[in-house]
Amino acid sequence: MDTAPAQETPEIVSTTALERSESKRDFLRFALIAVLIVLPIRLFIAQPFIVDGASMDPTFFSGQYLIVDELSFYTRDPERGEVVIFKYPEKPSKYYIKRVIGLPGETISGQGAMITITNPAHPQGFVLEESYLTHNAPSNFTRTLGTGEYFVMGDNRPASSDSRSWGAVPRANMVGRAFLRLFPFNRMSYLPGTIAEPAP
């Protein structure tokens, strides 16, 4: 008597472990790509900066969130009128935000509320037009800048600790310029605080 062959029970293979392993690999691959893209941007191109203090009022208020453009200063030098972020010369671990007033080789003179710039192009000097100021203060000083030195001041002159008191900022300390203001949202702007080169 013939008997029918016994039916084999199909083997059930769980794919859960395999899927979990592939999911981990995908996550690690994504994380690696993200780090390779984001880290160089964060270190060499742009970085966040939160304004702390009143030295730049009313151009920048404490608590405003900025993105700093570092890339520009790899290809060119800071310009007069730009708002820059730099390492404080007396304590490089601290970062300050100020406006560039004087360039390398120039003589900067303060007399009352007036700033005069003397350089080879203007040996008789010219008065700096500072229409962005709403908080000025009289001061009397004269500083001659060396090679690679910049004179910076805050827009809120009475409340600003700047080159008038602690001297010039070396080029090597310049981190970048204020590129974007992201917060508060009602004051979002591109190149906030930047002005054109003043005419003598």
Cβ–Cβ under 8 Å, residues 125 and 117: yes
Tell me what pLDDT residue 199 has: 37
What's the confidence (pLDDT) of residue 33?
A: 58
Q: What is the pLDDT of residue 47?
A: 76
CA distance 87 to 174: 7
For residue 11, the model assigns a pLDDT of 54
Mean pLDDT by runs of 10 across the 200 residues of the chain is 53 57 68 53 66 94 92 94 96 96 97 94 95 88 97 96 96 95 89 62
Q: CA 58, CA 132: separation in Å to the nearest integer?
A: 9
User: Who contacts 96 (Cβ-Cβ below 8 Å, separation ≥6)?
Assistant: 55, 85, 86, 87, 88, 152
Q: How far apart are CA 8 and CA 37, in angstroms?
A: 53
Q: Which CATH number fits domain 48-190: 2.10.109.10, 3.40.50.1370, 2.60.40.640, 3.40.50.970?
A: 2.10.109.10
pLDDT of residue 137: 87
Report the distance separating Cα 136 and Cα 192, nearest Å. Answer: 20
Q: What is the pTM of this model?
A: 0.76
> What confidence score (pLDDT) does residue 25 get?
73
Positions marked active-site: 55, 98
For residue 138, the model assigns a pLDDT of 87
